[in-house]
Structure 1
Amino acid sequence: MTRFVGGAVRDALLGNEVTEADVDIATRHAPEAVMDLLRQAGIRAVPTGIEHGTITAVLASGPIEITTLRRDVSTDGRRATVAFTDDWRADAARRDFTMNALYADPLTGAIFDYFGGVADLEARHVRFIGDPVQRIAEDHLRILRFFRFLARFGDRADPAGLDACTARAKDLMALSRERIRDELLKLLVARDAVRVVALMLDRGILLPVLPEIVAPDLLAHLAAREAEAGIAPHPIRRLSALLPRDAGLADQLGARLKLSNAERKRLVTAAAAPEGAAMPLAYRLGVDSAVDQLLLSERPIAEVIEIAGWQPPRLPLSGGALVARGLAKGPDVARALRAVEDRWIAEGFPDAARVNALADEIVAQALRAASKA
């Protein structure tokens, strides 16, 4: 009556780690029956998507989604109207790729494979279930998912699927930019992202929705430098590698993709060339943004390694300490504090004793200048 399905089964067969967050369960039980069974077992049940057959079981180890078997009644490329069924094959047939339509018995571990998913998984072959054009018509996001799965799991793309994605690329325009963003950012950090993004650009996949992305060369350069420095790929850094070095354009794209404020700021900052030594750069911009700029440039990898994981110190001086030295509150304090900070950075972040000496010197200069005015 109940089986594991999808990513957890796929990843287990690949020998990848499977966490509770990866586990999805399919069942012949109707949603109301699932709710009752969970309550009888003393497990909290939340009807997170009951109209689509999904109940969330809240376990101590984390939530797990349980979904009644479904078949599509109608689709419009963004959402589907479904009916419940007790037919495992019908449920599998509505899924996107053969490697995602694998089921496992929770007691015996037996695998149920209706469309050759195990063979495709072994061959690292990303293949749609049935007619690729129909699968894409049901959900346009499957175009991006096809390439994300190719970058994560695939060594080769199904030619029919690749041609269908190419022919239907304009369908992406019907999707929300949030859905496009989420898939794209996952794709950019996948195992084989450089090759797959180059394939997407060659096929014009992103042109209808992200025309600013035109060249994969800097992405390859970035990926090589990340590997050399031992730095994990980051989706915003990699997105920046696909854009012209234009802060205004980066900001516009970040707004259109509805990036968070922090992500949007990071994308804009990454568009600039690094200036000055690595540690002062990291202090001014933050370590993440400094690493982005350095990796996207031709600067020595040693500079990236120097600041990776570094915790910038805080200036051990306050404006109040300058007032106590005789400066009047206001712009004079701000200027003096900035001057002390500049000297502190230039000297390599010395200790509090040196900072106090710098403060004494700069305050004295400011008071002498004020007395002559």
Structure 2
Amino acid sequence: MVRIDAAAWRKRRGIARLLDALGAAEGLTRYVGGAVRDELLELPGSDLDLATRLRPDEVVARLEATGIKAVPTGIAHGTVTAVSDGRPVEITSLRRDVATDGRRATIAFTDDWAEDAARRDFTINALSADPVSGEVFDYYGGLDDLAARRVRFIGAPLERIAEDHLRILRLFRFHARFGAGEPDPEALAACTARANDLMALSRERIADELLKLLGLPDPAPTVAIMLDRAILAPVLPEISSARQAGLEALIAAEAEAGLEPDPLRRFAALLPADPVIAEKVAARLKLSNKARKRLACAVARDSSGSPHALAYRVGRDCAVDRLLLGGRTVEAKDIAGWAIPKLPLGGGVLIARGLAEGPVVARTLQAIERRWVDGGFPAGDALEQLVADELARAGAAS
């Protein structure tokens, strides 16, 4: 029998109080999902989630009676967030799907653990554990799949994809994180056949899954499979197999520079070197304005000249992106920890030193800034000489 260390889990902040309130000792509540999976894989723990036979109104009543804050984050779908000793924990009543349309489900409550597990996407995500004994319950072969590092749909893959089209992308993300070798053949065939279903999803959901995938330590082999199978073609035709080598080179450059994986930078590696296209893709995926600007800046890929001057002109994040995309790993690492200086004077200083007010002030300040940046950001006497030179030149010109 497989078990988790129930005693250790109970010692986590706020958990014992919460389990007692929800009748864990009577078998009413269990740990579920990613936390159980990751514990068995000896990975850093996921957020702790609970499932319960109690209905949402019963959950709220029990929590409030114990003085635990209950937040109805998704109560229509059976989910209540408990805040126990400052720790948020999602609690979901056991459910079964009544109807689905590929984006959302109509649910009914149940008290059957296996029925609730059946509505989850992959066998490795359908594990649950008793909070008292630590016994792990596995209704669909998730333990064997964990041992084999295999990501497999519960039931018929085509049916599971029809219930929620996002499961196509989740299959590849979970394979990149937990899988070994090639994806499950039946799952891969179903995702390939139903790739067009992604068009029915909101672009925000697609962006979220894609960036989660790209943020994993090494998603390149999985991305290669996705491109070979044209999984992304219906929603992101701009990404082609021709850019796969760029992604692989970037991942290697990040590792060499000792920098953390960056999903937005990796996304840039997959796009053509065209800021206009990047802007359109970012707008389609409804990325934030900050992310749109960075993506468009990164895909330009121009990292010529001094890396410090580049960082000053385009910003540190974009400079690191361009340097890594250009294979300049040592300089990228240097720039990543560099505090960009600020030109220590403004137009008022120039006027105080005798420059006439008007357009000449802005032109002179720009000339000083260009020389200051190109000269490596000099200070002291060197900066004073630069300013004096430009003031003299501006005075002569006027």
TM-score for both structures, normalised by structure 2: 0.90
Select 1:5's aligned residue among 18, 26, 32: 32
Separation in structure 2 between the aligned mates of residue 344 and residue 106 of structure 1, nearest angstrom: 64
Which amino acid counterpart does residue 7 of structure 1 have in structure 2? G
Deviates more, 1:346-355 or 1:281-290: 346-355
Select 1:284's aligned residue among 313, 319, 322: 313
**Which structure 2 residues correspond to residues 1-373 of structure 1 after superposition, within 5 A?**
1-18=28-45, 22-156=47-181, 157-215=183-241, 216-272=244-300, 273-298=302-327, 300-370=328-398
Deviates more, 1:316-325 or 1:174-183: 316-325
SS in 2 for 1:205: coil
Task: State the 1:223 CA deviation.
Answer: 1.0
Separation in structure 1 between the aligned mates of residue 354 and residue 298 of structure 2, nearest angstrom: 41
Which amino acid counterpart does residue 285 of structure 1 have in structure 2? V
Contact 1:31 1:55 in 2 (8 A): yes
Contact 2:323 2:332 in 1 (8 A): yes
Which amino acid counterpart does residue 158 of structure 2 have in structure 1? V
Separation in structure 2 between the aligned mates of residue 203 and residue 360 of structure 1, nearest angstrom: 63
Contact 1:317 1:355 in 2 (8 A): no
Which amino acid counterpart does residue 29 of structure 2 have in structure 1? T
Summarize the Cα distance change of 1:334–1:98 in structure 2 as closer, same or farther, 3 Å threshold: same
SS in 2 for 1:126: coil
Separation in structure 2 between the aligned mates of residue 154 and residue 260 of structure 1, nearest angstrom: 31
Deviates more, 1:329-338 or 1:142-151: 329-338
Separation in structure 2 between the aligned mates of residue 310 and residue 79 of structure 1, nearest angstrom: 46
Task: State the 1:229 CA deviation.
Answer: 1.2
Contact 1:166 1:204 in 2 (8 A): yes
Contact 1:178 1:258 in 2 (8 A): yes
Number of positions where the alignment pairs a residue of Structure 1 with one of Structure 2: 367
Can you list the C-alpha shifts for 1:277-330, whole angstroms capped at 9, x where unaligned? 1111111111111111111114x3222222121111111112211121122334
Task: State the 1:353 CA deviation.
Answer: 4.3
Contact 1:70 1:83 in 2 (8 A): yes
Separation in structure 1 between the aligned mates of residue 351 and residue 147 of structure 2, nearest angstrom: 71
Separation in structure 2 between the aligned mates of residue 164 and residue 231 of structure 1, nearest angstrom: 36
Contact 2:279 2:295 in 1 (8 A): yes
Separation in structure 2 between the aligned mates of residue 184 and residue 238 of structure 1, nearest angstrom: 10
Which residue of 1 is the match for residue 12 of structure 2?
A: none
Separation in structure 2 between the aligned mates of residue 358 and residue 59 of structure 1, nearest angstrom: 61
Task: State the 1:24 CA deviation.
Answer: 1.1
Contact 2:311 2:318 in 1 (8 A): yes
Deviates more, 1:73-82 or 1:10-19: 10-19
Separation in structure 2 between the aligned mates of residue 331 and residue 108 of structure 1, nearest angstrom: 78
SS in 2 for 1:125: coil
Which amino acid counterpart does residue 234 of structure 1 have in structure 2? D
Separation in structure 2 between the aligned mates of residue 254 and residue 347 of structure 1, nearest angstrom: 36
Separation in structure 2 between the aligned mates of residue 329 and residue 236 of structure 1, nearest angstrom: 44
Separation in structure 1 between the aligned mates of residue 157 and residue 216 of structure 2, nearest angstrom: 23
Deviates more, 1:48-57 or 1:361-370: 361-370
TM-score for both structures, normalised by structure 1: 0.95
Can you list the C-alpha shifts for 1:123-178, whole angstroms capped at 9, x where unaligned? 11000001100000000000000000001111142110010000000000000100
Separation in structure 2 between the aligned mates of residue 135 and residue 67 of structure 1, nearest angstrom: 20
Contact 1:132 1:161 in 2 (8 A): yes
SS in 1 for 2:271: coil
